[in-house]
Amino acid sequence: MIDSATMRLIQVLLRPIFYLLYHQFAWTYDLVAALVSLGRWQEWVRSALPFLSGRVLEIGFGPGHLQASLNEKNIPTFGLDESPQMVRIATGRLRKNRAINHLIRGYAQNIPFTGETFNSVVATFPADYIFDPQTLNEIRRVLLPAGQMVIIPTAWITGGHLLERLAAWVFRVSGEAPGKPHGLSSAMKARFVHAGFEVRSEMVKKKGSQVLVILAKKK
């Protein structure tokens, strides 16, 4: 059993690796994500689709899988990501699928769109920047009245096979899925309320896993 101090140390040591995975080694992202999730990563990302409507802005679109899925459903979609490597990868994916490309490079703390532009804003498995008060204020600014922010912050592997238990352990010690499946804490809810959102969460059950979906509606 690993104590909490050791887990925190592991998480600190992993941060540079996560950064490289999203930047210099972005070309390995899909492979690594598939391996650690036992092939479920893209299914988890697509868990956001039923909650999205109207004009959509995706923050941190990564390799562009959700962008491609939104295009397939003819949902007007835009994307914002700070990683130039991910912009290139996602652009190539959309071009290959002959999908519309509205991807730009930028930061969530300073979204380069005018106010009240989007019906939905979505982020799947984002880093902690998504809970930054400045990010939440920017998202609220670009949402239309009664618009909704959809965040998938984590997923838990719940199957009982040996590989599933091992993958669940890796997610737990890396901080990607701490503890057992659970909803939002009171402290996290307070951040959204303070930023002007009505917030709730849903647990989406998949085969051998559960996905947490945060739904924050602009007041």
Which one, of 136, 135, 140, 141, lies nearest residue 107 by Cα?
A: 135
Judged against a pLDDT cut of 60, whether residue 164 lies above it is answered with yes
What average pLDDT score do residues 169-173 get? 75
Residue 186 has pLDDT above 50, yes or no: yes
State which CATH number among 3.40.50.170, 3.40.50.1820, 3.30.70.1150, 3.40.50.150 fits the domain covering 4-218: 3.40.50.150
d(CA 64, CA 91): 8
Task: Give the pLDDT band (50/70/90) at residue 167.
Answer: confident
Place of tokens 């036992």: 38
**Of all residues in the chain, what percent are helix, strand and coil, respectively (each to 5)?**
45, 25, 30
Q: What is the pLDDT of residue 11?
A: 57
- Give the domain ranges of the chain: 4-218
Compute the mean pLDDT over every residue in the chain, rounded to the nearest whole number: 90
As a whole number of angstroms, the distance between CA 153 and CA 204 comes to 12
pLDDT at 177 over 80: no
Q: 3-state class of 216 per DSSP?
A: strand
Average pLDDT over residues 163-192: 82
Q: Residues of 183-196 as b/e, b for ≥16 C-beta within 10 angstroms?
A: ebeeeebebbeebb
How does pLDDT run across 66-125, given as a tens digit for each residue? 999 999 999 999 999 999 999 999 999 999 989 889 999 999 999 999 999 999 999 999
Between residues 10 and 28, which one has the greater pLDDT? Answer: 28
pLDDT score at 19: 82
The rounded distance, in Å, linking the Cα atoms of 215 and 151 is 7
Cα–Cα distance between 108 and 42 in angstroms, integer?
A: 22
Tell me what pLDDT residue 140 has.
97
65 contact partners, CB below 8 Å, separation of at least 6: 42, 45, 46, 93
> Any idea what the Cα angle at residue 49 is, between residues 78 and 186, rounded to 5°?
100
- Condensed to tens digits (0 to 9), the pLDDT of residues 146-162 reads 999 999 999 999 988 88
Q: Rounded CA gap, 93 and 19, in Å?
A: 22
pLDDT digits (tens, 9 = 90+) for 53-63: 999 999 999 99
pTM (two decimals):
0.91
